[in-house]
Amino acid sequence: MYDTGLMIGHFEPLHLGQMRSILDAAGQAKTLHIVIMAHPSPHPDFTITLQDKARWLQMACADLPFIHIHTTHEIKLPLHEHLYSASDDVSIDVAASNAKLQRLMDALSLSAETVLFMADDHPLTRNDIQEQLLLPVVTTPLQSEFDSYAIARDPVAHWSALHPQARVDYTKTVAIVGGESSGKTTLVHKLANYYGASFALEMGRLYVGTDLGGSEVGLQYSDYSPICLDHAEAIREAKANATAPITIVDTDFVTTQAFCEEYEGRTHPFVAACIDEFRLDHTIMLDNNTPWVDDGMRSLGTPEARGRFEQRLMDIFARHDIAPHMIDQPDYDARYQQALLLIDQYIYGKKS
């Protein structure tokens, strides 16, 4: 067993194959240092920071104290995996790699006895190149069922390969919004079942039940902040436990603001901050043209009130530069089918 091992990678995204390689390396070294680099060609649909990747690995290795996680803004360090397609022309500059490795080792206070872990098929594992490298190379077995290059290019298509800690940053939130009795909650449950997705429920309705005794009679201005906090936590938890590339959200902070303006006659600054701070990826808005159903908690049932509330929603969306996807079909099943088309197009990349 080696005293100290070093593994370097982009880990974008962290997937199960990479984790298995980490565990293999950790079994060969008493202490394993993992260095995370920024990806030179990040996926345009996902904003992933070095800190995001550090968190994934820190959480994944939280109970393995012999593994230490680091980040670096250095580029072109010798990676554990060969993350290029066969058509890419990849030159190997051993002198430059050694200079960068030396700076990294100095920063981490690593000794010259440290071994560098690389995948079995990496070009740097060739004997003629190994002899020139600053550190001795130790290989880890290939994880042939996991193609890191393909996973990085299309994380959605390879969802099952992503490590659970990374999925939170690769699931897209889709809010279903609209006025009262527009079929939001039913659509949320239908979509969650169709995609096998996690979801966050409407917190305003739950809050009325848990804190106001089941009636909006006692609702007041001070209630809108805790409603938003509860909703933000529900969304965070749903994303953290994401089971699909999509996480469904029943209503949004814009809707909470619309109710505040409707009932209180003023805009709530904390709710406005939540709209901007807890930005959702996509919003599907249902037109208020379905039959009104009085469930005992709804109060905006007249055509005038429903139209006014819908316009209020649109005004707040415009105020915060949010462009919702509109669904105006009055038939419930047609709305469901239209929502599927939107999600398939914008999240799964399917063409209609």
pLDDT digits over 25-47, tens only?
999 999 999 999 999 889 999 99
150: which 2 tokens?
């393909």
Most confident segment among 109-123, 159-173, 285-299: 159-173
By the 10 Å C-beta count (0-12 exposed, 13-18 middle, 19+ buried), 316 is classed as buried
Q: Is the pLDDT of residue 330 over 90?
A: no
What's the rounded mean pLDDT across residues 210-217? 89
What pLDDT, on a 0 to 100 scale, did the predictor assign at position 86?
45
Confidence of residue 90 (pLDDT cuts 50, 70, 90): very low
Tokens for 227, please give them.
């409603």
Strand order in the sheet with 115-119: 67-72, 29-37, 2-9, 115-119, 137-140
For residue 291, pLDDT beyond 70: no
Mean pLDDT for the stretch of residues 122-136: 79
For residue 283, give both structure tokens: 């919003």
SS3 content of the chain, % helix, strand, coil (to 5): 45, 15, 40
Residues paired with 247 in a beta bridge: 173
Residue 132 is predicted with a pLDDT of 80
Checking if the pLDDT of 126 tops 80, the result is no
Q: Check whether 264 has a pLDDT greater than 60.
A: yes
- 226 upstream amide cis, omega within 30 of 0: no
Query: Taking Cα atoms as reference points, which of 1, 9, 4 lies closest to residue 135?
Result: 4
Average pLDDT estimate for 89-94:
60
Residue type, 81: E
Across 54-63, 189-198, 281-290, least confident range: 281-290
Q: Within 10 A of 206 (CB to CB), how many other CB atoms are there?
A: 15
Distance CA 331, CA 211 (A): 34
Helical ranges in 1-72 per DSSP H: 16-26, 50-60
Average pLDDT, stretch 339-346? 96
- Mean pLDDT of all residues belonging to the chain: 90
User: What pLDDT shows up at residue 127?
Assistant: 75
Q: What is the per-residue pLDDT for 272? A: 98
pLDDT band of 125, cuts 50, 70, 90: confident
Find how far residue 102's CA is from the centre of its chain.
34
Domains, the chain, in order of start with CATH, read 2-154 (3.40.50.620), 171-346 (3.40.50.300)
pLDDT score for 195:
98
In this prediction, residues 240-258 reach a mean pLDDT of: 97
What's this model's pTM, rounded to 2 decimal places? 0.89
How many Å apart are CA 158 and CA 215, to the nearest integer? Answer: 45
